[in-house]
Chain A
Amino acid sequence: MDTTAKPQYDNGVVKYLTVGAIVFLVLGTFLGTFAASQLAWPALNFDIAEITFARLRVMHTNTVIFAFGGMTLMATAFYTVQRTNGVKLWSNSMAWWTAILFTIGLLATVVTISLGMTTGKEYHEQEWPLAIAIAVVWTMYTFNFVMTIASRNKETHSHVYVSNWFFLGMMIAITYLYVVNGLAIPVSLFRSYSLFAGVQDAMIQWWWGHNAVGFFLTAGFLAIMYYFVPKQAQRPIYSYRLSVIHFWALMFGYVWLGAHHLQYTALPDWTGSLGAVISLAMIIPSWGGALNGMLTLSGAWDRLRTDYILRFLIISLAFYAMSTFEGPVMAAKTVNALSHYTDWTVGHVHSGALGWVAMVSIGALYHMVMKLWNTEMYSMQLINFHFWLATIGTVFYIVAMWVSGIMQGLMWRAYDEYGTLAYTFAESVAAMHPYYAMRAFGGLLFFTGAAVMLYNVVMTIRMANARASKPVEATA
Chain B
Amino acid sequence: MSRMEHYFSTDWSALTTQDWAGLIITVLVFIGMLITFALALRPSKRKELEEQKHKILEDD
Stretch of A29-37, A108-116, A230-238, A390-398 on the interface side: A230-238
Q: Are B50 and A240 in contact (CB under 8 A)?
A: yes
Interface residues on A, range: 20 to 34
Q: Are A240 and B57 in contact (CB under 8 A)?
A: no
Q: Are A230 and B46 in contact (CB under 8 A)?
A: no
Q: Are B36 and A230 in contact (CB under 8 A)?
A: no
When distances are taken between beta carbons in the complex, the residues of chain B under 8 Å from A240 are 49-50, 52-53
**How many residues from B make CB contacts under 8 Å with A?**
19
User: DSSP class of B's interface residues: helix, strand, loop or mixed?
Assistant: helix
A337 to B53, CA, bound (A): 44
A162 to B55, CA, bound (A): 11
- B21-39 vs A, Cβ < 8 Å mask (1 yes, 0 no): 0000000010011001100
Using CB atoms, name the residue of chain B closest to A6: B60
Give the shortest distance, in Å, between A112 (CB) and chain B (any CB).
Answer: 36
Q: Is A267 an interface residue (CB 8 A)?
A: no
Give the shortest distance, in Å, between A233 (CB) and chain B (any CB).
Answer: 10
Q: Is A86 an interface residue (CB 8 A)?
A: yes
Q: Is A131 an interface residue (CB 8 A)?
A: no
Quick one: which of A6, A230, A244 contacts B49, CB cutoff 8 A? A244
Q: Is B59 an interface residue (CB 8 A)?
A: yes
Using CB atoms, name the residue of chain B closest to A296: B53
Q: Is B15 an interface residue (CB 8 A)?
A: no
Known contacts A86-B59, A161-B52, A236-B53, A241 near B41 by CB under 8 Å: yes
Q: Are B33 and A252 in contact (CB under 8 A)?
A: yes
Give the shortest distance, in Å, between A204 (CB) and chain B (any CB).
Answer: 14
Q: Are A84 and B49 in contact (CB under 8 A)?
A: no
When distances are taken between beta carbons in the complex, the residues of chain B under 8 Å from A231 are 56-57
Residue of A163, A230, A234 with most chain B CB atoms under a 10 A cut-off: A230
Q: Are A159 and B59 in contact (CB under 8 A)?
A: no
Known contacts A161-B55, A231-B57, A239 near B32 by CB under 8 Å: no
When distances are taken between beta carbons in the complex, the residues of chain B under 8 Å from A6 are 60
Q: Are A241 and B33 in contact (CB under 8 A)?
A: no
Q: Are A245 and B50 in contact (CB under 8 A)?
A: no
Using CB atoms, name the residue of chain B closest to A230: B56
When distances are taken between beta carbons in the complex, the residues of chain B under 8 Å from A243 are 53
Q: Footprint of A on B, CB under 8 Å?
A: 29, 32-33, 36-37, 40-41, 45-46, 49-50, 52-57, 59-60
Q: Footprint of B on A, CB under 8 Å?
A: 6, 9, 83-84, 86, 159, 161-163, 227, 230-231, 234-237, 239-241, 243-245, 248-249, 252, 371
Q: List 21 A-B contacts (CB under 8 A).
A: A9-B60, A83-B60, A230-B53, A236-B53, A236-B54, A236-B56, A236-B57, A240-B50, A241-B41, A241-B46, A243-B53, A244-B40, A244-B49, A245-B41, A248-B36, A248-B37, A248-B40, A249-B37, A252-B29, A252-B36, A371-B60
